[in-house]
Amino acid sequence: MSSVIERIETLLVDLPTIRPHKLSMTTMACQTMVIVRMRHSDGIEGVGEGTTIGGLAYGPESPESIKCNIDTYLAPLLVGQPSGNVNALRALMNRHARGNAIAKSALETALLDAQGKRLGVPVAELLGGAREAHLPVLWTLASGDTQKDIDEAFQRLDERRHCDFKLKIGANPVDQDVRHVAAIKAALGERASVRVDVNQAWDESTAVRGIQALQDAGIELIEQATPAREHEALIRLSKRFNVPMLADEAVQDARDGLSLAAGGFSGAFALKIAKSAGPRGVLELASVAQAAGIGLYGGTLLEGTIGTAASLHAWATLPEMAWGTEMFGPLLLTDDIVTEPLNYHDFGVDLPTAPGLGVTLDEDKLVHYSRK
């Protein structure tokens, strides 16, 4: 008899950040992760993670809603179902629950982790096989202080930990943000590439002014300058400037990707398993991008090690990540809830090779940081 899902447990886990992380919509000093533990009748446990940014500041799912909706609606759908058919279980969740992409991503990750452990293979092999064993990782400079950001960038370069940097802007007046970014790029020169993430903070006219100044300053990529639902504005900006646009909040899944591509968007898509309801959904979006000649970038919602590992297994299967990845989430946290952290070195991170996600929960740390 095939294995069935016996029990699904969710935990809210609060981990402090190494410094305040300033974005256009919030400043973070702690990251809350929803950890999923999925037990199967053959004794295997799969783990998953659902994470967002700043409670409800970033999107329509909060850590508390993710936990509640898994416990109340999604877990009862899955308990008692056969464990191994991930596609059938994805379809079941989508048939009975609208939206809730982050919650579904956490559950799909737990299913893939369990199946990988069951078969003795890494999740990347379940997704078609890894092409890369070491993936590049950039670092986000988000202290809000120009000199602190410059010092932090040089430290990361000297440690050979990161050689590409992203700046979070949009919370300040556009001229102030441009001065901040231009000063950092001038200080780093040719030693590092510098990109910016506006996090939807500008209207189109402000974006035109800001992007022109950023392009003149040598910035290499502009992420989501305008609000997510204004696809036409993003398409116009991508056609107007030489510096590429990176669509993030505007492109959740393959359908959004098709809409942007059909409208003439050029540039890149930020892939995130959380936006696309899991690794399989995000690879569907990547296929649309590749068919349309749109570049790929491995994005994060500042997940911890479990969510980061799940993303890395997906990115490793892709033929090219033209803009690299930003899978630095665990490095932003003061501690971890796994026994062996991911191996960051030489401007990137190694793909875990053990069965499943390749990570193991530290039970003591999990108890310590779980919300009571």
pTM of the model: 0.95
What's the pLDDT at 142?
84
What's the pLDDT at 320?
87
Amino acid of residue 233: A
**In this structure, are 161 and 20 located in the same domain?**
no
In a domain, 357, yes or no: no
Which CATH number goes with the domain that contains 48? 3.30.390.10
Alpha helix segments (H runs only) across the chain: 63-69, 75-78, 86-96, 101-119, 123-126, 146-158, 174-188, 204-216, 231-240, 254-262, 279-292, 305-315, 363-369
Neighbouring-strand partners of residue 296: 269
What's the pLDDT at 1?
56
- Catalytic residue, from 49, 132, 303, 326: name it: 326
What's the pLDDT at 144?
84
Among this protein's residues, is 168 annotated catalytic? yes
| pLDDT tens track for 147-202 | 999 999 999 999 999 999 999 999 899 999 999 999 999 999 999 999 999 999 99
Query: Position of tokens 């999604």?
Result: 74
**In this structure, are 110 and 154 located in the same domain?**
no
**In this structure, are 152 and 276 located in the same domain?**
yes
In a domain, 277, yes or no: yes
What's the pLDDT at 25?
63
In a domain, 334, yes or no: yes
In a domain, 17, yes or no: yes
What's the pLDDT at 342?
98
Among this protein's residues, is 326 annotated catalytic? yes
Please list the pLDDT of the chain residue by residue as tens digits (372 residues): 589 999 999 999 999 998 777 766 667 789 999 999 999 999 999 999 999 988 888 889 999 999 999 999 999 999 999 999 999 999 999 999 999 999 999 999 999 999 999 999 999 999 999 999 999 999 999 888 999 999 999 999 999 999 999 999 998 999 999 999 999 999 999 999 999 999 999 999 999 999 999 999 999 999 999 999 999 999 999 999 999 999 999 999 999 999 999 999 999 999 999 999 999 999 999 999 999 999 999 999 999 999 999 999 999 999 989 999 999 999 999 999 999 999 999 999 999 999 999 999 999 999 999 998
**In this structure, are 80 and 130 located in the same domain?**
no
> At residue 98, what are phi and psi to the nearest 5 degrees?
-85, 150
- Catalytic residue, from 168, 185, 272, 275: name it: 168
**In this structure, are 135 and 90 located in the same domain?**
no
Which CATH number goes with the domain that contains 308? 3.20.20.120
In a domain, 356, yes or no: no
> At residue 188, what are phi and psi to the nearest 5 degrees?
-80, -30
Among 176, 173, 167, 264, residue whose Cα is nearest residue 218: 167
Would strands 5-22 and 27-40 be described as parallel, antiparallel, or unpaired? antiparallel
What domain range includes position 28? 5-121+362-369
Q: Report the alpha-carbon distance of residue 220 to residue 306 in Å, rounded.
A: 30
